Amino acid sequence: MDFKVKRISKTKSKNPLVRFWTAHFHPKKTLAIFLFLVFGGAAWAGTAWINNGGLKKTVVRVVNNLPVDMDKNGHVNVLLLGVAGKNEEGGNLSDSIMLVSVDPNEPSVSLLSLPRDLYMASGVGERKVNEIYAAARHKHGDKKGLDIAKKAIEDFTGIEVHYGAVINFAIFEEAIDALDGIKVFVPQDIVDPNYPDDNYGYQTFVIRKGNQVLNGATALKYARSRKTTSDYSRAQRQQDVLMAMKARAQELNLLTDLDKLGSLYSIYKDNINTDVSLTEAIAMAKIGTALEYKHVVSAVLNDDPLQKGGFLYAPAREFYGGQYVLLPESWKDTREFIRLTLQVPEILKENAQISVLNGSKIEGLAGDMGTRLRRFGFHVIETGNFNDSRPVFQSFYTVMSLNPVSGTTQFLEKFLGFESQELDSVISDEDLLDIQMVIGTTQEQ
């Protein structure tokens, strides 16, 4: 269901909660709200602040009515752009591009990072995605620049983008220090001899594999370092830092610490460009407090065909003015991957164990399908040949266990064109295999 609401009037409200909020927090400077509440950190308008019965009812009424824009799936979709800030060269280029989809009903959140070199159309011409906001802002100003960036991402992904926020990376350093540091697991050593310093030179950044407690400066370097690792691993690190901030805010019970909330707001107020309004922020705050880590899905769109999200490729540079850019190999598969990640993450959460067998007698089809499914994020545990002397014409699948995999089977039928075939023997919930796919000579591409 789509919810459309009017923006809050600038006239003085009679609502005591609105007057309390407006007196302390500017409604257009609410990225802190978004980071700490959409990711489950703290409800800035939570009832822990105000115990008066009438005010508490006001909060619950506003939140339960969910005065936020939603898509047809009941999701709230937000674009987050991370920029270096005016003190750095190219300070308005988007160093981080992340699309966030929040399902208030579960509640759950999905994070999809896009690479900076992804090439797309926009209201300021065809260009790399990291240039769109900077170019649009230079020509049209902050608000229109954000609107143009949102529209470009919306057109590329096919996902309605309701809100946006442009974040100065310096915020993360100061905010993490205000949280007294965050806990992060570093999956591999990073030694970056070319991390930019404050004097347009370079410094060496080193962090070792393992559990680490990071202060703001180290966390920022960890999230931004890219010289010795890929943009895709960097995007994953940025997602990890956000989730660590969320966990730390919960650990500190931030709702009850007004002094710390005030210090966080003072950090954010001059560094955010966002179109999240007051009532929308309050509603998302309520969603965020109920969010648990197990309901978070994250992915990175990339050009590694052996990895989840690996649907991009680099075309010849001469066609793009000598630039290195990335494009989708297949619009159909790229859009479907985005849909699975952001709109129906419950399908991937089924974690169906899939076997792919080639019944066509055409060499290589099972391996190709297995690779394709892994790119989407499905768990393929086996590829091989179907044991039948006759070739199979129509591709089919068989459910081999009692585990709930209805979302996965719908994907196989509607997107890949496989037919369902019943199993002759009795299904057991102890089987390791959930779905067996058999590829025929005719298959939907």
Q: Which residues contact 96 (CB under 8 A, 6 or more apart)?
A: 80, 81, 82, 113, 169, 223, 235, 238
Confidence of residue 292 (pLDDT cuts 50, 70, 90): low
Confirm or reject CATH 3.40.630.190 for domain 76-342, answering yes or no.
yes
* DSSP E strand boundaries for 1-115: 76-83, 94-103, 108-114
Distance CA 44, CA 323 (A): 44
Overall average pLDDT of the 60-76 stretch: 67
Summarize the confidence of residues 246-273 as an average pLDDT: 65
Site of tokens 């070792």 = 208
**Residue 323 phi, psi dihedral angles, 5° rounding:** -80, 150
Q: What is the mean pLDDT of residues 214-242?
A: 81
Cα separation of 61 and 51, whole Å?
A: 15
Check: pTM over 0.85? Answer yes or no: no
Highest mean pLDDT of the ranges 68-82, 255-269, 321-335: 321-335
Rounded mean pLDDT of 4-8? 35
Q: What is the spatial distance between Cα 200 and Cα 282, in angstroms, rounded to a whole number?
A: 41
pLDDT band at 172 (very low <50, low <70, confident <90, very high): confident
Q: What are the residues whose beta carbons fall under 8 Å from the beta carbon of 114, sequence distance 6 or more?
A: 97, 98, 99, 129, 153, 235, 301
What CA–CA distances, in Å, run from 61 to 46, 47, 283?
Answer: 12, 12, 10
Residue 330 has pLDDT above 70, yes or no: yes
Q: pLDDT tens-digit profile of 389-399?
A: 788 999 999 99
d(CA 5, CA 7): 7
Phi then psi for 36, rounded to 5 degrees? -90, -10
In 169-325, the DSSP E strands lie at 182-186, 190-196, 202-207, 210-214, 272-274, 296-300, 312-313
- What is the DSSP code string of 236-274? HHHHHHHHHHHHHHHHTTGGG-HHHHHHHHHHHTTSEEE
- Average pLDDT for residues 360-383, to the nearest whole number? 95
- Of 11-20, 142-151, 253-262, highest mean pLDDT: 142-151
CA 439 to chain CA mean position, Å = 33
CB 5 within 8 A of CB 218: no
3-state secondary structure of 318: helix
Domain extents in the chain: 76-342, 350-439
The CA distance from 31 to 174, in Å, is 14
On the question of pLDDT at 84 being above 50, the answer is yes
Is 129's pLDDT higher than 60? yes
- As a whole number of angstroms, the distance between CA 244 and CA 241 comes to 5
Q: Is the dihedral of CA 351, 408, 374, 352 positive or negative?
A: positive
**Residue type at position 301:** L
Which position has the higher pLDDT, 369 or 15?
Answer: 369
pLDDT in tens, 191-211: 988 887 777 778 899 999 999
Write down the architecture of domain 350-439 according to CATH.
2-Layer Sandwich (3.30)
Q: How far apart are the first and last CA of the chain?
A: 32
Nearest-5° angle of CA 8, CA 44, CA 64? 60
